[in-house]
Structure 1
Amino acid sequence: MSSRSETRLGVAMGLGAYTIWGLLPLFIRALQALPVADILAHRVIWSLAILLVLATVAKRWPAIRTAIATPRFLLALVASTLLIGTNWMIYVYSVNSGHTLQASLGYFINPLVNVLLGVVFLRERLGRPETVAILLAAAGVAALALHQGGSTLIPLGLAITFGLYGLVRKIVGLGPVEGLLIETGLLLPIALAWLLTMPNALARPDAPAIWLVMASGLVTTVPMLLFVGAANRMRYSELGLLQYVGPTLQLLIAVLVFGEPLLPIHMLAFALIWSGLAVYVAVTWHRGRVTPSVPE
């Protein structure tokens, strides 16, 4: 396959990954009859089932055993497991409690949180344009916080937990299949304990179909594989620009499908954050430093 064809395939795979992540609120809302903890537990179980097959087919077990046997790797993965588990819980709660708009705000903020984390933990240098971008986003968050009486728990919670998760995974340097398999494996005892000790929500008359619950594993693993395929076929800076497809779709779903009100304060906050993102993207496009986020 030619280089141009590879790039086109990469763009298609990247758009596929971020489109699935952007449409994820529709899937989560279809499971709304289940408690948040049940949705998370099933997502862990069915994702792990798929990842076990993938790890076997791709022959990733030696790398998985090495990671588990290395205390530094295992400790880092315990931390990343806690972060991604918290991130999933906040996200599912926000969608099913009518706060999808705030969730999309969190993923718009996330790239700028990544820049700050890079400065603090990786000693990356922050130029004047990046500083302006972060200040604009901070102004947007501050405006929203003042309007809501200081409460921006959902957007900041999502942005910070996923930003820290990405930082830990970047430091560990483990592949997506291995890392996600170990993380879901660590969450498995908690997921099983919850489902075995709580009332069976799937037996309720309004419960979603079992095939829909099982599909939660697919919506976790498929976009990740598409993302990895895209990253291997196109420039990272180009792939980074696609990361805003996800939260943009989430915002549209929140307003047009779920009927969440788009208030003037939301428009002001988003305008400031988008302005910051525009500055950030313009700079990183020239420098080739955009690091795309990987929502899980």
Structure 2
Amino acid sequence: MPCIRAPSACAALCSPSSTDVVPRIYDESVSETDAPQQQQPQAARAGASATGRGIVYAVAAYLIWGFLPIYFIALAPTGPFEIVAWRVLFSLVFCAIAIAVTRAWRPFLAILKRPRIVLIMGAAGVLIYINWQTYVYATTSGQVVEASLGYFINPIVTVLLGVIVLRERLRVTQWVAIGISVIAVVVLTVGYGQLPWIALALAFSFGLYGLVKKQVGRDVDAVSGLTLETAWLAPVAVVQLFVVGVTTGITFGHEGTLHTVALIGAGVITAVPLLFFAAASRRLPLVVMGFIQYFTPILQFIVGVALLHEAMSFERWIGFALVWVALIVLTVDMVRAVRAQRRVGQTRADAVQGEATEAVESDPLPE
């Protein structure tokens, strides 16, 4: 996903400095044949720097998401429905400010002129609303461990949705991972005494959200996307606040200044990691992002077990262990698939280069 459309910021974040790639043509000691050789290590350093920044952005995003349960729990006595409503509204305000500051109104208005994309973002908004509401309910009701399970199984659910929705063909190891996950859900159902609906709701809502967002691809940047999603959800949030107000009562502005600021911050803490993730995805390979994504459920699991002391029965440990085995199988398969694609790509590149060399050698020199 592209970064915010601030010309100077994008130039600094998304591309190397011009002084790193332009050869010193006025240095007589550097011949024309030496210039490309000097550019190679400079380009390598620029690539390494971009990768390093990408890792920092990715780790920051997943760390914030990993510790979100603590943030939402600290918002007590505010209930989950009020938290989500303020989260939607203040995310919309934050994104509007971001668009204004970066002068990105033109691309945003251009998106508004495309009804198909606007409707798709509305569908994405519904799915992310389900995800947010389920997640905040889980964290504020002492079910952080089950919430972490939802994000552990999300990659597997995404693969399964690829088969069901996109008619993708799976490799044997991917089917093995799905099979192990199904067994894990059965074991966890026994351990919980019921279907782990919170985990399944989180995994499927986020998986479907990813599929919907895939329909717009790079046509919508991160800030514009979140702006449209929260704009669609704003009326729902207002109605939700009205219902909370006439039932349990609104806590915003009635629990002290720090609490009010923290509720406003729920919008900021929603948007910022999304922007970090967008910046990281531009700089890092899919495999690296695939590994780093496990930071979030791991941290959530640690928070639930070690800090909040949520109960873990024997069946739950077995169920989680099976999920982790399935993730290892899926990750190994992903790494092998990427390596195979690289080998095929390198073979094709070598073949093209060989054909070009033969063509040059067979072409007679002009007399």
Aligned twin of 2:237? 191
Alignment of 1:85-104 (within 5 A): 85-104=129-148
The structure 1 residue matched to 2:54, chosen from 10, 20, 25, is 10
Preserved contact between residue 31 and residue 208 of structure 1 (Cα < 8 Å): no
TM-align CA RMSD: 1.8
Which of 199, 218, 230 lines up with 2:268 in the alignment? Answer: 218
1:146-295 counterparts in 2 under 5 A? 146-173=190-217, 174-196=220-242, 198=245, 199-205=249-255, 209-288=259-338
Q: 1:69 and 1:142 mapped to 2: Cα distance?
A: 47
Q: Do the aligned partners of 1:44 and 1:188 also contact (CA within 8 Å) in 2?
A: yes
Conserved in 2, the CA contact under 8 Å of 1:86 and 1:161?
yes
For the pair 1:73 / 2:117, whether they are aligned, the reply is yes
Where in structure 2 are there 5+ consecutive unaligned residues?
Answer: 1-15, 17-45, 340-367
Large movers: runs of 4+ above 6 Å: none
In the TM superposition, what are the counterparts of 1:98-113 in structure 2 within 5 Å? 98-113=142-157
Instruction: Give the deviation of 1:225 after TM superposition.
Output: 1.0
1:179 Cα deviation from its structure 2 partner: 1.2
> Partner residue of 1:121?
165
CA deviation vs aligned residue, 1:172-222 (integer Å, no higher than 9, x gap): 223221111001011112222333561322354589621111111121111
Cα separation, 2, equivalents of 1:209 and 1:148: 34
Could you say which residue in structure 2 is the equivalent of 1:21?
65
TM superposition shift of 1:137 = 1.2
Q: Describe the shift of the 1:234–1:106 C-alpha distance in structure 2 as closer, same or farther (beyond 3 A).
A: same
Amino-acid identity (%): 36
Query: Does the 8 A contact of 2:191 with 2:314 survive in 1?
Result: no
Aligned partner of 1:143: which letter? V
Alpha-carbon shift at residue 79 of structure 1 (Å): 1.5
Distance in 2, matches of 1:145 and 1:235, equals: 36
Supply the AA of the counterpart residue of 1:166. Answer: G
Alpha carbons of structure 1 residues 137 and 208: separation in structure 2 relative to 1, 3 Å: farther
Q: Deviations over 1:35-64 (max 9, x none)?
A: 211101111111111111222334443333
Q: Distance in 2 between matches of 1:16 and 1:175?
A: 19
Give unmatched runs, 5+ long, in structure 1.
290-296
| Deviation per residue, 1:111-148 (Å, 9 max, x gap) | 01111111222232200011101111111111111333
Structure with the bigger RCO (C-alpha within 8 Å, sep 6+) is 1
How far apart in 1 are the matches of 2:191 and 2:259? 40
CA contact (8 A) 2:82 2:250 kept: no
Distance 1:241 1:59 in 2: 34
Give distance in 2, aligned partners of 1:56 and 1:118: 37
What letter is aligned with 1:147? G
Cα separation, 1, equivalents of 2:211 and 2:142: 29
